[in-house]
Amino acid sequence: MIETTIQTLPHGIDLSIRTCGQRGRPTLVFLHGFPEAAFVWDEYLEHFAKPENGGYRAVAPNLRGFERSSSPADVSAYRAKHLVQDIAALIESETGKDGQLACLVAHDWGGAVAWNLVNQQPHLQKKLIIINSPHPGTFLRELKNSPKQHAASLYINFLARPDAPAILAEDNFRRLWEFFTNMGAGADQYGWLTDAVRAQYHEVWSMGLTGGCNYYAVSPMKPDDNLKNLVLPPEMFTIKIPTQVIWGMGDIALRPELLDGLDDYIADLRINKIDDATHWVTHEQPARIKQLIRDFLQA
């Protein structure tokens, strides 16, 4: 059974958290992206909490700015260092001061947080699983050098605008539904966007969209005039723990070339490409994703 709580972190941020499984068990943390929320992991939390699937403690926080988690008004409060601080504090609260996650699993913006966290504090988790979330090194390279990825990323400039939350809320969130239904095969082929799931999204979006859009507003990874001057130090890119990258190859926003050269940054890497899936592969093919997670946990 999924339990929901509000946890106040030592630095004063509240995170709304969904959990399944007993405390003290090996722990998995799942991070969502935009325009989603922690509820999208419920099927995974329940699956991995079962004894036959490892009996894990499975935890999915709503990231800062989403659902009932704290949503600071200051846009700078959504910079990567603050997001990393949130999840590092959550991990410590779940595993103890010197504990480790069995694995950190992350999709979309959750993946951006995870790449930064694992780079800066690799001791907090034994393994990392990233699902359709670009590594900062290859993303910066493709944004600068690939006209196709640059064009595919232009939506970021819109989401970074101050008026984006209000526009997204118009017509009963019409544009947000199109994030799902216009992404290749999407809901039409797989049927995951049911009325019940739509109601969950509608409830979360009605709580506010500004926090989620602030992630785009503060990100330096935008296809704009400032990009050509953006230089990030190589030490920001290295990942020193075993990492699995799962990629729905039909993702029209994040092109498959983002996978090229990942082994330059990650010494222990496995890549699983799923040809018949989009950015929303976690919804489209949950059985396959759960199997890939299980296999990696047991490796």
Averaged over successive runs of 10 residues, the pLDDT of the chain (299 residues) comes to 97 98 96 98 98 98 98 98 98 92 98 98 98 97 96 97 98 95 65 94 98 97 90 92 97 97 96 95 96 97
Query: What pLDDT is recorded for position 184?
Result: 61
**Ramachandran angles phi, psi of 269, nearest 5°:** -130, 135
Q: What are 152-198's pLDDT values in tens digits?
A: 999 999 999 999 999 999 999 999 999 998 876 544 567 899 999 99
Q: What is the pLDDT of residues 14-38, one digit of tens each?
A: 999 999 999 999 999 999 999 999 9
Residue 127's pLDDT is 98
How many domains does the chain fold into?
1
pLDDT given for residue 185 in this prediction: 53
CA distance 103 to 48: 12
| Predicted pLDDT at 24 | 93
Distances (CA, A) of 108 to 142, 163, 228, 238: 17, 22, 24, 19
CB neighbours of 269 closer than 8 A, spacing ≥ 6?
Answer: 243, 244, 245, 262, 263
Mean residue pLDDT across the chain: 95
Q: Say how far apart CA 93 and CA 293 lie, in whole Å.
A: 23
pLDDT at 187 (0 to 100): 47
User: Over pLDDT 90: what percentage of the chain?
Assistant: 91
The domain that contains 254 carries what CATH number? 3.40.50.1820
Residue 241's domain spans which residues? 3-298
